[in-house]
Amino acid sequence: MNSVDKPLAGITVVELGHSVAAPYAGLILADLGARVIKVENPGSGDYARGWGPPFFKDTASAFHSLNRGKEGIAVDFADGAQADALKRLILTEADAVIQNLRPGILDRFGLTADLMRASKPELIWCDIGAFGATGPLASKPGYDPLAQASTGIMSVTGEGDRPPVRVGVSLIDMGSGMWAVIGLLAGLVARQETGQGRVVATSLFETGLAWMTVPLAGYEASGELRRPFGSGTAEIVPYQCFETSDGWLMIAAGNDNLYRKLCGALGLTALATDADFATNMARVVNRERLIPQISAVTRTLSTDALGRKLDDAGVPNAPLLTVDQVSNHPQTQALAMTVRCSADDIDLMGVPLSFDGQRPRSRVRAPKLGEHNDILKIAKPETADAR
């Protein structure tokens, strides 16, 4: 493998994962060049296999998007021979394990960090939990929307006078997978010096709290509970989507100078010097008076015309695009972010990294259930006739 675009070549990771969090961590590691062996239940496999429609061939497109680049084995933990074979695989070949199974499952089968690292101290074990390792919710199962709800993310998302809204992508799951990868990479660096592995732990709840860094700081500073502002934000104005004559444009006038440029581009020069709007602090306080005046102008222009006008003025902006528009956008194409795997004709999103101008990626399709079970080398039970 090329060490430039496959920096983790030679590293083997066993993924005891399902759904999104652990599989996304495994996907990142596979694109970085690691050998990732995905372990699934031999009955139904990863839940994500059935998350459709839409399906690609006979498996949900979601599963393909999260599991390309991996080898796949199916293991029944309750079968002693299969469980032992998995343990041998971890002890003989794995540099790291990533798992996001429900608390207590692995304990029943002796597949725990303590037991595995007692036999292989250099092993790095990554736990992705639901609500964290300690505390009153430690044993509670969790999913992305539960974490979005319980960490306050839903309270600052959407619009204050409407029902709660979740972020439309699996922000918590994928973020937890990223934190697991960061911890695993840190463990690999430390192991070069000490020869010892470690247990890396994160959770959906902790990830949600981390994403709430700014809102929680605002609460600690003021005691105020900010309502959600739709496409906007509590701390900066104007910093939101504005309706145009044929769509929506996100305008990010993130400081006083950009605000003045915005006013000039829209012919609202009087608003630039008005003491009620001249500073961001004043604009936040007087948001409800300012936004309608800007909106009255943006609605008279097409999205393209408004975008060009703001580009010329140096005001950051971007149109609100639909999924099909994003997929076909020339910027998406220019960055070569999508991957088409061997024997597949579906474009799947790659990782947002490049090394010396080369994007790391695996072009191996997602595994079929149990496709690589031969690597387990399951010992066959002896019979009475065995010699």
Per the listing, tokens 């032992």 go with 84
345 catalytic, yes or no? no
Specify the 3-state DSSP secondary structure of 342: coil
Per the listing, tokens 């959600």 go with 228
Query: Could you give the CA distance from residue 46 to residue 314 in angstroms, rounded to a whole number?
Result: 48
Specify the 3-state DSSP secondary structure of 375: helix
Per the listing, tokens 């070949």 go with 93
Q: Which of 79, 173, 345, 347 is catalytic?
A: 173
Query: Could you give the CA distance from residue 305 to residue 338 in angstroms, rounded to a whole number?
Result: 30
Query: Could you give the CA distance from residue 380 to residue 369 in angstroms, rounded to a whole number?
Result: 21
Retrieve residue 306's tokens: 């408004």
Retrieve residue 253's tokens: 């006038």
Query: Could you give the CA distance from residue 272 to residue 320 in angstroms, rounded to a whole number?
Result: 26
Is the bond preceding residue 228 a cis peptide, omega within 30 degrees? no
Per the listing, tokens 């463990």 go with 187
Catalytic residues: 173
